[in-house]
Structure 1
């Protein structure tokens, strides 16, 4: 039974990674597709490859997820908590994908972990939740908005005497690099989050020691599932990010992607904080768009997205808690 529970939980974790891939693929490529720097299929293929590569570039975020957010109760209770957390995250990912709302897969996972842990009477490491999740959740969009605005201002000043048509052609080419950087950062952040969950499942089952490094097979399967999900595409969310917030041109797309990628690398390597790629790129797009004129950004769409950000953790947590209570009632 313990082995079966472990296999099922890891399977659901990989399913979450797949939904993360198709849910968040828009983060890396929406701007490049909307500016016609890349065709949709070429952009998805590039994003899938770079997600795969990014997954192997570190493990600090994975360690935060596996050790810094909830306790690790052993046995059936612990596995039930983890299964419920993943179920809550997957349910929220699918619901927001159907609505075309670019909510955060990361915070759906964190909300699921906290909700299931509370329902199961397990310890929640609140200091870790606040420092590694809540504070970055508020700070990263603000930083993305400000830095995106400043980067775009710098581009406008540096190329103020350039021929507009030639400059746009150049930035359309440059966007292939910035989009690849964004996709690499997405792999660096989001594949590690699932690695942390799989490691947590292995620790709960007693298959791995909590001090052990991440097994190579865990890195490979998580990276592959994220890449497969990315290639499956997230057209609904791509439309929201690429068109509904603001009509982007190549310089704006380059500025937004460069801003987003830079924030992902800094938070991964320096702070080991699992930030949301959705929060970062959406706020960067808004900041870049505001340089045109403030009312060029469709702030109503942005407001709806922000509301989605705030309800993601409690909503996923509530679903996870309900799933845990159902498991408890059925299996005892």
Structure 2
């Protein structure tokens, strides 16, 4: 699907596009790492870190192969290991993403189709069972009564799910525009979204579509921002949509964005960067959400290929899969 065709689909769907012409000069920042963690204190190693989040100064990360969550301090010292793989009521089957809300870690267990709750000190607090599978590869979010996540079962007619935790009726509500990519597998995979809560709105980042969507908590579209014109997004989108192997195979799908994160009033989106047809490194795009839209203001360029990340006032923490390590990157003063 070519770029102009997709943008036409956005217009026809009734979304209100926000211009991405920068109001101020974009700042470009070259990052370097000042600390690397390759080995845990028990002499074991990370396998595949699927999600990283900051909460009250500490860094939490899930390792999908080890099936555990690790709590680290800001200097990458291990403070606590949370959960383990097993068959008991408090054990994990297969985990990737989690969200921390009011001192509770909500972990999406994909194989057991439930959400497990742990305190930030690692105590098991119970489980919840939505009526369909919860997120596999994508960030989800929540407030006191609802969990919002991307729909990843069947052929989606809607892209998002609102799971109500405190009601016996209407437990699931579906919303959000889904795009038909011409094949069931592609349609399901390429409609996936990372979902974030910001100031009583939902900010979603499609993994395969160059747009940022903003909804109210009832699922009504407030606005969308077309980000297809940003150079690294344009290059990545062109590369993916013109890959003949993907286009000709019904079982192959592509993604443009690896991860995203909301911190304070900024949205950060992580993208791969190719050089001479080879994966070279990752770049992080920063958007200002404070004015109700999503204005591109800054780009961070990593020296490494970073696959997952989170951000704090002082650092970016990223998982580098080639070395199975966590790296800390200082932010400029």
With the length of structure 1 as denominator, give the TM-score of the two structures. 0.27
Relative contact order, higher structure (CA 8 A, sep 6+): 1
More helix by share: 1
- Please identify which structure carries the higher strand content: 2
